[in-house]
């Protein structure tokens, strides 16, 4: 059974702080890793994709992948109240079109 | 490039009725997946279509069905609606096997009374 685990939260951080969201997965042959942001009542929005070990930065977001330890994380620097949302981790095998999603972590950024 | 579109955005139906939801993927994307999202269950995979063929199916009863047309547009149908079918139904199109990024439409909020 392929699983993707996330802490449901909520993770509460003050404005301007770094928010760290973590995700572990069980399928060792996973090759594609994604982070989605979902605001309440809205659909998931893809914010980061990462395919190789290490860090990938995009603006205030950094995705970190460690395949040996089977975890992927998302760092949000200078967190803003507008970052308050649920963050979904998704993991996919190479060549597959169907990712496995975690249940999501609720992030609250308070002023 | 236009994103994934879904219609209608909101639906209210009564038990026993049936409903058809529509999805147009991003131009050039041939894979369309459907998900059900409820507060208690998270994102649950319904099925995936590729070149008019259902390639993958989740664990949902036969009341849930779908199809894909030659232009990659997809529809899903739910027959004999139950109260528990109330959910956000999401369509996603996938960029391809190499990067397999999945992009979601805005969803259809279905309420069954």
Residues in chain B: 113
Residue B78: what pLDDT? Answer: 98
Evaluate if residue B56 carries a pLDDT over 90. Answer: yes
Confidence of residue B1 (pLDDT cuts 50, 70, 90): low
Residue B95: what pLDDT? Answer: 84
Residue A96: what pLDDT? Answer: 77
Residue A106: what pLDDT? Answer: 96
State how far residue B55 is from chain A, nearest Cα, in angstroms: 10
Q: Which of A5, A37, A43 to substitute to test the interface with B, most B CBs within 10 Å? A: A43
State the Cα angle at A45 between B91 and B88, rounded to 5°. 40
In this predicted structure, which of A45-49, B49-53, B86-90, B95-99 has the lowest mean pLDDT?
Answer: B95-99
Provide the token pair at A8: 């449901």
Closest partner residue to A97 (CB to CB) among B43, B48, B104 is: B48
State how far residue B52 is from chain A, nearest Cα, in angstroms: 15
Query: In what helix (H) or strand (E) does residue A28 lie, and over which residues does it extend?
Result: none
Evaluate if residue A1 carries a pLDDT over 70. Answer: no
Tokens 């002023």 — which residue? A111
| B15-52 pLDDT tens trace | 999 999 999 999 999 999 999 999 878 899 999 999 99
Taking CA atoms, A61 is separated from A11, A14, A19, A88, B10, in Å, by 16, 17, 10, 14, 33
For chain B, what is the mean pLDDT? 94
Q: Measured between beta carbons, which residues in chain A are less than 8 angstroms from residue B56?
A: 97-98
Q: Is A52 on the interface with B (CB under 8 A)?
A: no
């Amino acid at each position: 059974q392929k699983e993707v685990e996330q802490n449901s939260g909520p993770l509460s951080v003050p404005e301007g702080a770094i928010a760290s969201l973590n995700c572990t997965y069980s399928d060792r042959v996973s090759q594609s890793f994604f982070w989605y942001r979902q605001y309440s009542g809205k659909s998931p929005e893809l914010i980061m994709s990462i395919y190789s070990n290490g860090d990938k930065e995009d603006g205030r977001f950094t995705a970190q992948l460690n395949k040996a330890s089977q975890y992927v994380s998302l760092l949000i620097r200078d967190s803003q109240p507008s970052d308050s949302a649920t963050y979904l981790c998704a993991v996919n095998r190479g060549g597959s079109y169907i990712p496995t999603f975690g249940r999501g972590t609720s992030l609250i950024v308070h002023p | 490039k236009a994103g994934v579109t879904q219609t209608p955005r909101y639906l209210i139906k009564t038990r026993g009725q049936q409903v058809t939801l529509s999805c147009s993927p991003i131009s050039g994307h041939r894979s369309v997946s459907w998900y059900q999202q409820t507060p208690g269950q998270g994102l649950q995979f319904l099925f995936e279509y590729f070149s008019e063929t259902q390639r993958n199916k989740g664990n949902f009863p036969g009341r849930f069905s779908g199809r894909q047309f030659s232009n990659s547009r997809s529809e899903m149908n739910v027959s004999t609606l139950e109260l528990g079918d109330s959910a956000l139904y999401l369509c996603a199109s996938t960029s391809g096997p190499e990067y397999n990024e999945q992009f979601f439409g805005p969803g259809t909020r279905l309420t069954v009374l």
